[in-house]
Amino acid sequence: MRAESREAFREAFVAGFLFFVLVLSAGHAMALDGGSASGSGTITQTVNPNAPRLIAFDIRNAANTSSVVGNQVDVLTGLNFWMRVNNTNGWASLTKLWINLWYDAGSDSTAFDSASSAANYKINITYTNTGALSAPTTGQWALVSGNIAFLPAANVTIFTAQSGFEYAFRLSFQLHAQIHQAQDPTPSTSGYANAYSWNARFGANDLSNDVNFTSKDPTTGNFYEFGVYQYTSISLATPTWTGTSAAPGQTVLTNSIVVTHSSNAAYWVNVTAGGDLSDGSGHTIGSANVKVVHNAGSDDLSANTAFPGTAPRTVRLLGAGANIPHAFDSAGDSETVPVQFQIAIPLGTFAATYTASITVLVDQRKPPTT
């Protein structure tokens, strides 16, 4: 081999060896003693927030044994909300739970947020985890709106399904007297589909503002709708109206009696005389001589109004007409109206004590149907 060829080979070998050494040096940390080597780095994993999962929700009877969704319920009768919630990010990340009920007032498109805010049309019970607790407490529940009987300390029971992650709740409550009457719904899987019914939904939120609502049963697919039976009641502070003693030709007033009444829909109050006033021996004062006294701001009369002389001897005290009822109180449990009479004693009336029966009726007509 010639000298120049040997030199070229040697240079190529050295270059290749150096390249090999550089490659090894780039991949290894060199130590003086050659016995160990170490490197460092990081591992990264992003965990996305998971919206709370609403496993179950129901409205049940007082015994908590059967669902009342799809049926009509009574006011002043015990009921239960039942729900089960799972939060895989930990219960401390769950901030809110909502139970929302609302009367649709005849339109299935009525949403909870746009429904009437009156207490007898809308109910909102809310759980608030402001302390970011890892387990729920009864005191975190509160009645935000709605005319129902509900006290968290007495009416909330908590069950642990998976500590720190999943809990079930039973909330006992009672609808007050004037919660709006509603029709018996027909179960529907296509949305809220029963006008003049109550709708319900259950919702949850977490620290990442992941909001989740459920409006239908996860097993049947039926939307949460229910009805409320008609309800009326009446009571009189005292049962007797007595006019002051007077002579024929005079006009007198009786005492005024406060009539307390309840109705869970628009209504009429009618006052009816059972007949003419009679002394029991054939002498009478005709019912047309007796007027129901108008009390401005309390009744729907425009003036003192006489009973008709023949049956039915009825005066409409509340209600603007035969087809125009009086609006019920959308916030309270009952209302009051004073009832008083004015008696004109005809000339020639025989001296005696005259009596007639009086009936005060709260009348709530048959509700509208779809």
Going along the chain from its start, the domains and CATH numbers come out as 53-228 (2.60.40), 232-363 (2.60.40)
Token representation of residue 286:
């005709």
Mean pLDDT, rounded, of the chain? 90
In 176-231, the DSSP E strands lie at: 198-206, 212-214, 225-228
Got the DSSP string for 36-66? ---------------PPEEEEEEEEETTSSS
Question: What pLDDT score was predicted for residue 142?
Answer: 97
The position carrying tokens 């004015």 is 342
Q: Encode pLDDT of 275-308 as tens digits.
A: 999 999 999 999 999 999 999 999 999 999 999 9
Q: Which two tokens stand for residue 63?
A: 């015994």
Cα separation values, 110 from 42, 125, 144, Å: 53, 19, 20
Beta carbons of 80 and 109 less than 8 angstroms apart: no
Which one is predicted more confidently, 40 or 127? Answer: 127
Tell me if residue 28 falls in helix, strand or coil.
Answer: coil
Could you tell me which residues are beta bridge partners of residue 94?
206
Mean pLDDT value of segment 85-89: 94
DSSP 273: E
- CA quadruple 284, 287, 288, 294: dihedral, nearest 10: 140
Q: Whole-angstrom Cα distance, residue 306 to residue 168? A: 61
> Environment class of residue 52 by beta-carbon count within 10 Å: exposed (0-12), middle (13-18) or buried (19+)?
buried
Residue 81: half-sphere exposure toward Cβ, Cα within 13 Å: 30
SS3 state at 153:
helix
pLDDT at 222 over 90: yes
Q: What is the pLDDT of residues 306-343, one digit of tens each?
A: 999 999 999 999 999 999 999 999 999 999 999 999 99
Distance separating alpha carbons of residues 246 and 172, to the nearest angstrom: 58
- Tokens 């729920």 locate to 136
Element (H, E) at 233: strand 232-236
Give dist(CA 74, CA 356) in Å, integer.
36
To the nearest 10°, the Cα dihedral for 249, 250, 251, 257? Answer: -120
At a CB cut-off of 8 Å and minimum separation 6, what does 302 contact?
Answer: 294
Q: Buried b / exposed e across 194-214, counting CB within 10 Å, b at 16+?
A: bbbbbbbbbbbbbeeebeeeb
What is the model's pLDDT at position 51? Answer: 81
Would you say 84 and 160 are in contact if contact means Cβ atoms under 8 Å apart?
no
Helix, strand, or coil here: 177? coil
Structure confidence at residue 370 (pLDDT) = 47
> How much of the chain, in percent, has pLDDT values that exceed 70?
89
H or E stretch covering 6? helix 3-27
Structure tokens at 298: 């309390």
The mean pLDDT value for 178-201 works out to: 96
Q: Are 338 and 292 in contact (CB under 8 A)?
A: no
Task: For the full predicted model, state whether its pTM sits above 0.85.
Answer: no
Q: Please tell me which residue, 33 or 313, carries the higher pLDDT value.
A: 313
pLDDT at 368: 65
Q: Residue 145: beta bridge partners?
A: 124
